[in-house]
């Protein structure tokens, strides 16, 4: 029997099985990665691995994971941040891996239960539709019923229309109403769970992983018996894990829980058929109390900060606790109705609705108490017609809260991404997650950046903290776009500046035949990217979400312009509390947190340019602090070496050497 190392050699070597695939090119880094993953899995140890774009990292972890899981009868969980990558793994890479490993195996994408239709709840909702839904909603319900006859998986994503929340929440699988003993084998969610239990590879997203992980108490595994986990797109782990473990309750959620019982406005809900006015009045009272409570929260936030939409709360009971009593009264009343209810299904719905009210009550109470000093508490106000108010909590230190449970002995956590290191080291990432026992490895890039990329630094641009910056920046951006005749992705850190520059340049660019696409909230990110790819002379102005995940190989993107180094403003409560924690531990919040975070984001932005061996182009950085400040060196030394030009006061460029520039 061949060892895992033999298999890797047979597949990833220059003449290996992989080399027979069309368009395949041998990359030593890919083999190195496959060997490192194999060794971590065999040694049941943890690994952090930076695999630059072009290495072919999906196959380099999938193949060893499958070989190991099949041989040892274990289960591989592959967790990603984006749905795009999940789809790519499932539809393309898993199939290639299948053709390489010589074993048959089963792989599934696993989603949270609320994605699946519950046929028992659907039947119940159909029976009670006059009581639960208005005419439009009832129409949706009938379309869901038709679909339920033909769907194979009951996954809401495959429903031919997007259902309203009020309808879907009434028919999706839900923890409190779920009983496979009653429903028998024809349940979409139970089927998905069964398939996940039987599968060798289970693909899911980070958010679901950490939500399920937070509910698990098992010492020796994560989610399934004898599993191991590979996190791709691991750069988002700290933020997703924090929010996954944290808790949140909003005005809309509490109102939803109350309205599920009875909505005084629509006169629909589980209690609508009950003759007793008392129960309906308790729902109306709970609704009024919910609105009054969250309005008080909103006013307290506004009193402390007029403009901010997020506010950290440091004082227990910063508003009076007026919600518990009406919610408790409502729960007691539901309990009475529940006892009298003859139908098992209707009873289950009442139990589930009561549970939701109880959870809301507990979360509000926990938020107001602020009894856990390891958590950060904050309020978030959302804009729009219905101004929602969220009460959020999350662990200040993800490392302290998850590391002991996540990086356990006897199994493996493999974390990979194209962008994890700062200044050539993975220490920052390792320390943020508390993965001190993990082996670290940074692979070389397969691209020739000396030939493929040029770096242009705006030496003469006024720095962003200079009042002249705002007036000057449109001209510098215009000059930069002209250098590549469009084909540019311009990355901003502020929507105000993005709009201002777009207004000032639109006419000039369009008169030169360069179409300007702007992330202004009117067109979806997906549509903007589609237009940008199709019109190769266009220019795209993007904010936060365009710094990562944009993959435009070829001539449509030959220039990335970075308007400002992406330092996060410490106005988010979690960022603020994490910085305070570092200071309390005698660290330097700027050097130990703000700077490395900005460098990682900067690297993501730079990484948008070269996506394949045939791509060429330039990166222009219009934030002159990269040259004038000491920390600029950390940014420069964190990106691939390539020829450098400096932009002088007249916009003309002259060449410089990386060492010379980094030493300025």
Residues that bind ligand SF4 (CB under 6 A): 118-121, 173, 177-180, 183, 187, 189-190
Rg value, the chain, Cα: 27
> Do the beta carbons of residue 59 and residue 16 sit within 8 Å?
no
Instruction: Walk across the sheet containing 375-381 and list its strands.
Output: 247-250, 389-395, 375-381, 310-312
Nearer to ligand SF4, 132 or 561 (CB): 132
What is the rounded distance in angstroms from the CA atom of residue 554 to the CA atom of residue 508?
25
Residues 460, 475 contacting (CB under 8 angstroms): no
Work out the angle at residue 343's Cα, subtended by the Cα atoms of residues 337 and 344, and round it to the nearest 5 degrees. Answer: 100
Give every strand in the sheet of 107-109, ordered side by side: 107-109, 201-205, 75-80, 227-231, 413-417, 47-50, 439-442
Question: Which residue shows structure tokens 């499932």?
Answer: 90
Based on CB atoms, which residue is closest to ligand SF4, 67 or 178?
178
Nearest distance from C-beta of residue 118 to ligand SF4, angstroms: 3
Cβ closer to ligand SF4: 32 or 349? 349
Name which of 177 and 205 has its Cβ closer to ligand SF4. 177
**Host H or E run for residue 395:** strand 389-395
Question: What is the smallest separation between the CB atom of 249 and ligand SF4, expressed in angstroms?
Answer: 24
Q: Nearest approach, Cβ of 216 to ligand SF4 (angstroms)?
A: 20
Taking the complex as a whole, the smallest distance from the CB of residue 579 to ligand SF4 amounts, in Å, to 43
We find the least distance from the C-beta atom of residue 120 to ligand SF4, in angstroms, to be 4
Beta carbon nearer to ligand SF4, 19 or 180: 180
Question: Minimal distance in Å, beta carbon 179 to ligand SF4?
Answer: 6
The pair of three-digit structure tokens given for residue 550, joined into one six-digit string: 């944009």
Nearest distance in Å: CB 190, ligand SF4: 5
184 secondary structure, DSSP code: -
CA distance 441 to 32: 10
Comparison of 177 and 235: residue with beta carbon closer to ligand SF4:
177
Our CB check for ligand SF4 shows the closer of 50 and 174 to be 174
Closer to ligand SF4 by Cβ: residue 11 or 117: 117
**84/179 with CB nearer ligand SF4:** 179
Q: What are phi and psi of 230, to 5 degrees?
A: -120, 120
- Least spacing, CB of residue 360 vs ligand SF4, in Å: 22
Q: Which is nearer to ligand SF4, 177 or 493 (CB)?
A: 177
Query: Residues with Cβ < 8 Å from 645, sequence gap 6 or more?
Result: 454, 455, 456, 457, 653, 654, 655, 656
DSSP secondary structure string, 291-318?
Answer: HHHHHHHHHHHHHH-SS-SEEE--STTS
3-state secondary structure of 457: strand
**Largest separation between any pair of C-alpha atoms in the chain:** 84
CB closer to ligand SF4 out of 193 and 629: 193
Judged on CB neighbours under 10 Å (0-12, 13-18, 19+), 620 is: buried
Q: Which is nearer to ligand SF4, 120 or 166 (CB)?
A: 120
Q: How far is the CB of 270 from ligand SF4 (least distance, A)?
A: 16
CA separation for the pair 87, 85 (Å, rounded): 5
Cβ–Cβ < 8 Å for 654, 645: yes
Nearest distance from residue 171's CB to ligand SF4, in Å?
9
Q: Which position has the token pair 């139970």?
A: 190
CB of 283 to ligand SF4, least distance (A): 25
Report the distance separating Cα 415 and Cα 436, nearest Å. Answer: 13
- What Cα–Cα distance (Å) separates residue 320 from each residue in 302, 364, 387, 389, 648? 16, 11, 20, 16, 60
CB neighbours of residue 317 within 10 Å: 11
168: enclosing H helix or E strand: helix 165-171
Q: Which is nearer to ligand SF4, 38 or 120 (CB)?
A: 120
50 three-class SS? strand
The least CB distance from residue 70 to ligand SF4, in Å, is 30
Whose tokens are 């006015």? That residue is: 277
Helix (H, G, I), strand (E, B) or coil at 542: strand
Min. distance of Cβ 549 from ligand SF4 in angstroms?
Answer: 33
Cβ 481 vs Cβ 502: under 8 Å: no
Degrees (nearest 5) of the Cα angle 362, 368, 369? Answer: 85
CA angle centred on 142, ends 139 and 148, rounded to 5°: 145
Closest CA to 416 of 435, 396, 397: 435
Q: How does DSSP classify residue 567? A: P
**In the complex, least distance from residue 252 CB atom to ligand SF4, rounded to whole angstroms:** 24
Nearer to ligand SF4, 45 or 190 (CB): 190
* Closest to ligand SF4 by CB, 108 or 642: 108
CB of 195 to ligand SF4, least distance (A): 14
């Amino acid at each position: 029997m061949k060892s895992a190392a033999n298999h890797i050699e047979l597949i990833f070597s220059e003449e290996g099985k992989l080399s027979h695939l069309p368009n395949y090119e041998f990359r030593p880094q890919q083999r190195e990665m496959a060997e490192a993953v194999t060794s971590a899995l065999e040694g049941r140890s943890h690994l952090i691995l930076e695999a630059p774009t072009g290495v072919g990292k999906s196959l380099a972890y999938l193949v060893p994971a499958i070989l190991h899981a099949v041989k040892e009868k274990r289960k591989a969980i592959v967790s990603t941040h984006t749905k795009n990558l999940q789809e790519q793994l499932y539809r393309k890479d898993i199939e290639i891996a299948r053709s390489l490993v010589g074993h048959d195996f089963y792989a599934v994408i696993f989603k949270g239960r609320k994605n699946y239709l519950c046929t028992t709840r659907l039947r119940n909702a159909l029976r009670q539709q006059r009581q639960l839904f208005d005419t439009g909603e009832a129409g949706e319900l009938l379309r869901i019923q038709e679909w339920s006859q033909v769907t194979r998986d009951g996954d809401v994503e495959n429903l031919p229309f997007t259902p309203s929340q009020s309808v879907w929440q009434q028919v999706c699988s839900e923890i409190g109403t779920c009983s496979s003993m009653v429903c028998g084998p024809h349940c979409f969610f139970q089927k998905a769970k069964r398939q996940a239990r039987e599968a060798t590879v289970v693909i899911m997203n980070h958010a679901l992983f950490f939500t399920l992980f937070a509910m698990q108490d098992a010492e020796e595994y994560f989610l399934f018996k004898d599993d191991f986990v590979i996190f791709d797109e691991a750069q988002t782990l700290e933020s997703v894990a924090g929010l996954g473990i944290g808790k949140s309750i909003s005005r809309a959620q509490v109102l939803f829980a109350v309205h599920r019982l009875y909505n005084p406005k629509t006169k629909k809900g589980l209690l609508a058929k009950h003759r007793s006015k008392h129960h309906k009045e308790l729902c109306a009272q709970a609704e009024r109390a919910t609105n009054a409570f969250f309005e008080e929260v909103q006013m307290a936030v506004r009193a402390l900060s007029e403009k901010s939409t997020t506010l950290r709360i440091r004082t227990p009971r910063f508003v009076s606790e007026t919600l518990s009593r009406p919610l408790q009264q409502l729960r007691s009343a539901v309990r009475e109705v529940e006892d009298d209810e003859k139908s098992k299904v209707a009873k289950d719905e009442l139990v589930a609705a009561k549970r939701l009210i109880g959870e809301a009550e507990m979360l509000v109470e926990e938020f107001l108490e602020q009894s856990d000093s390891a958590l950060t508490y904050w309020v978030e106000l959302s804009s729009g017609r219905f101004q929602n108010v969220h009460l959020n909590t999350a662990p200040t230190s993800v490392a302290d809260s998850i590391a002991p449970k996540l990086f356990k002995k006897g199994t493996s956590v493999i974390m990979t991404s194209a962008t994890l290191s700062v200044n050539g080291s993975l220490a920052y990432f390792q320390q943020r997650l508390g993965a001190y026992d993990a082996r670290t490895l940074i692979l070389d890039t397969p691209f020739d950046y000396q030939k493929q990329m040029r770096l242009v630094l705006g030496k003469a641009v006024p720095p962003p903290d200079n009042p002249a910056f705002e007036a000057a920046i449109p001209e510098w951006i215009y000059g930069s776009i002209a250098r590549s005749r469009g084909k540019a992705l311009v990355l901003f850190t502020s929507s105000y500046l993005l709009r201002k520059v777009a207004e000032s340049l639109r006419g000039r660019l369009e008169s030169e035949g360069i179409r300007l696409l702007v992330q202004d909230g009117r067109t979806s990110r997906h549509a903007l990217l589609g237009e940008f790819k199709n019109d190769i002379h266009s220019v795209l102005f993007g904010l936060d979400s365009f710094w990562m995940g944009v993959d435009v190989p070829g001539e449509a993107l030959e220039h990335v312009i970075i308007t400002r180094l992406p330092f996060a403003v410490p106005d988010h409560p979690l960022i603020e509390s994490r910085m305070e924690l570092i200071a309390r531990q005698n660290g330097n919040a700027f050097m130990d947190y703000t700077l490395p975070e900005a460098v990682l984001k900067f690297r993501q932005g730079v990484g948008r340019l070269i996506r394949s061996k045939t791509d060429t182009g330039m990166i222009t950085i219009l934030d002159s602090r990269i040259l004038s400040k000491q920390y600029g060196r950390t940014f420069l030394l964190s990106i691939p070496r390539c020829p450098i030009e400096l932009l002088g006061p007249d916009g003309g460029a002259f060449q410089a050497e990386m060492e010379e520039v980094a030493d300025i």
